[in-house]
Structure 1
């Protein structure tokens, strides 16, 4: 059976740069990007071409930031898609490799973040499950100091991005991928959970704020209705651009009104969840 020809549009490094600049991306700014490579069309050079286009749009003074989560480094008791047999749990906990920012791959966030993670000069934060990687002059400022007991709160890169007036770029993804909203969860009354992960000294349990992306699509729809969000296309991808600080402030108010008082069950951060499109 012959392979069908690719569908378009044809997207190049220059396409990405030009259309991001037309959307309103500013050279020199800091951009937290959530992305789906396949949504762009047929990208010449694949993820490398897309990353080059992003860096071209930001210029030498800009900083590109992506989530590089590694949710598989979590308690197998919480894995759901798929689960593993209970009799395996103790062996998995005892033998799971520890987080290494230079080696541990990202998972569940697409191929563009994994490409950024391995880019020459990229820096990555220290949290073993919810790290971020960055390229550019502010990379160290953003990634340093990510506390290993603070997934996406005040001692994470999200708070640094808010302070730096960074913006969020949803490049072919929906609001369900918007990690910025999680920072708001740390600023409203929330339940706590015990989460496990491997460390050089053995298996470790950490008390953390319970977080979930449940209803983030609804939150994002209301945010877009009430606040300025730049919308456009890069290739075939629906694209949105908005300030981190604006999104966090809106989410704080929205979650306080719409999030039920009882806690959501907290799953391992993207651990063993279905992978989004790449």
Structure 2
């Protein structure tokens, strides 16, 4: 018996652009993107073509923003705890000693995916200065949106998320779920008296590598999938637009709606002592 394999669909930049526009990506707007290239599928031209399609849909006056977080330079992050699990004290100290300090011009963001790294490395890209939760952007508003990212404020009022909220940016979950939605973290800062915790990471100061410890809101994305599911039902489902982009099912919504909903939802679903000691976000 002869078996046949279904042909692999190859998506093209122009087709992706059309799908993004049909989904509602605004020309001349600001777009924060979380992406899974695996979900998007095979694309002629690869990840660069996907970045190109996003920029085509936004137009010359639009600005593309991506998270380029770096949990790899912290010893208080879940990434570090997973890495050293089962190691003895000497081996653990060797891991800490090998961590490079954050460099906004050069530090990679391997855990954020291929699209985010491609944007970060693109000509003309701008990156914010936070040593753990930086963002990268391309477009005419990139520098203004990413300026003033205080190193002791991951994702709050002195971060690009607040500037994106002010700009009424859109958020695109390109083949990813609400559990990846960094915009919800701004809602954590806008809860009444959010719990706080200590963070520590490697930075460079005066040409020397050093550990820096600071306090900030205790980030917790463990309930973001449930939060997102409830958010998607608001306004009879009108808050979130869903549609195909490549082979993926993608979601588009306004960051203002997401943050405002998250602040209320989190306040009613969490108690002050409920926040987890560590979260899945960089820390």
Count of residue pairs the alignment pairs up? 268
The residue that corresponds to 1:222 in the other structure is: 230
Secondary structure (helix, strand or coil) at the match of 2:136 reads strand
Alignment of 1:1-278 (within 5 A): 8-75=8-75, 79-84=80-85, 85=87, 86-188=89-191, 189-201=193-205, 202-227=210-235, 228-262=239-273, 263-267=275-279, 269-270=281-282
Give the TM-score of the pair, scaled to structure 2. Answer: 0.89
Contact 1:11 1:43 in 2 (8 A): yes
For residues 230 and 250 of structure 2, the distance between their equivalents in structure 1, rounded to whole angstroms, comes to 17
Contact 2:220 2:280 in 1 (8 A): no
Secondary structure (helix, strand or coil) at the match of 1:80 reads helix
Secondary structure (helix, strand or coil) at the match of 1:194 reads strand
Change beyond 3 A, Cα 1:83–1:94: closer
1:95 CA drift (Å):
4.4
For residues 6 and 111 of structure 1, the distance between their equivalents in structure 2, rounded to whole angstroms, comes to 26
Contact 1:117 1:124 in 2 (8 A): yes
Structure 1 residue ranges, 4+ long, deviating more than 4 angstroms after superposition: 4-7
Structure 2's unaligned 5+ residue stretches are none
Contact 1:108 1:270 in 2 (8 A): no
For residues 175 and 38 of structure 1, the distance between their equivalents in structure 2, rounded to whole angstroms, comes to 17
1:96 CA drift (Å):
2.3
1:90 CA drift (Å):
3.9
Q: Deviations over 1:209-254 (max 9, x none)?
A: 1001111010000000014211111111111111111100000110
Secondary structure (helix, strand or coil) at the match of 1:108 reads helix
The residue that corresponds to 1:274 in the other structure is: none
Structure 1's unaligned 5+ residue stretches are 272-278
Change beyond 3 A, Cα 1:9–1:153: same
Indicate the RMSD between aligned Cα atoms, in angstroms: 1.9
Higher-Rg member (1/2): 2
Q: Deviations over 1:171-215 (max 9, x none)?
A: 100000000000011111222111111122411111111001111
Change beyond 3 A, Cα 1:123–1:132: same
Secondary structure (helix, strand or coil) at the match of 2:31 reads strand
Change beyond 3 A, Cα 1:164–1:77: closer
Secondary structure (helix, strand or coil) at the match of 1:129 reads coil
For residues 238 and 137 of structure 1, the distance between their equivalents in structure 2, rounded to whole angstroms, comes to 29
For residues 153 and 92 of structure 2, the distance between their equivalents in structure 1, rounded to whole angstroms, comes to 24
Contact 1:197 1:203 in 2 (8 A): yes
Change beyond 3 A, Cα 1:76–1:187: closer
